[in-house]
Amino acid sequence: MSTQELSAIGYDNKSPKFNGNNYAWWKNRIQNVIMGIDYECWLVVKNGPNIILKTDVEGNQVPKKDSELVTADYKLLEKNAKAMSILQQAIEYEELLTFPRMKDLINVQNSQGKTPLHLAVQNRILPLTETLLGMEKIAYNIKDEDQNTPIDLLEQACTDDSKWDKAFPCCEGSSSQKVE
């Protein structure tokens, strides 16, 4: 969310942070903030993510393939990502995942095809990466626009940083192969 967008609605650029206490107050405040920024994003939070479907030849509703998406579909997917981004600024991820329907957003891709796991690894946020990797519904095989999966990025992080190498058994030995 840009500072200009927040300033335009008279907001101080600080989403109310939820710390596990006073949920009723926080819920009311964050709802008003999200509705003020983008009401359609509020509907994503309230009703769950936009799922882009088509009707197959047998009359069943099935998800569209990436190659079948049109501009209007991308707009809906951007609303999913925007809603998740606003909430991520306002709440610790572990708390966020306790909300009904929010686990459905765990694998939502942004406009570059990155999921929260891609971003956590790419930005070297170790605690968030560990949390996401422990989630039941996390998808490891989603490729971003550069054709990288989160695991590809994790292997690179382990190669580049011994702290990451020690944290993830799948990467053991990667930092010893690092070119200095």
Q: How many domains does the chain have?
A: 2
Same domain, 82 and 114: no
Domain at 154, CATH number: 1.25.40.20
For the question of whether the overall pTM of this predicted structure is more than 0.85, the answer is: no
Q: How confident is the model at residue 144 (pLDDT cuts 50, 70, 90)?
A: very high
Q: How confident is the model at residue 13 (pLDDT cuts 50, 70, 90)?
A: very low
Instruction: State the residue range of the domain holding 115.
Output: 106-180
99-117: average pLDDT: 77
Same domain, 3 and 70: yes
Q: What is the pLDDT of residues 78-98, one digit of tens each?
A: 988 888 777 777 766 666 666
Same domain, 83 and 127: no
84-115 in b/e form (b: 16+ CB < 10 A) is: bebbbebbebebbbeeeebeebbbbbbeeebb
Q: What is the pLDDT of residues 65-75, one digit of tens each?
A: 888 999 999 99
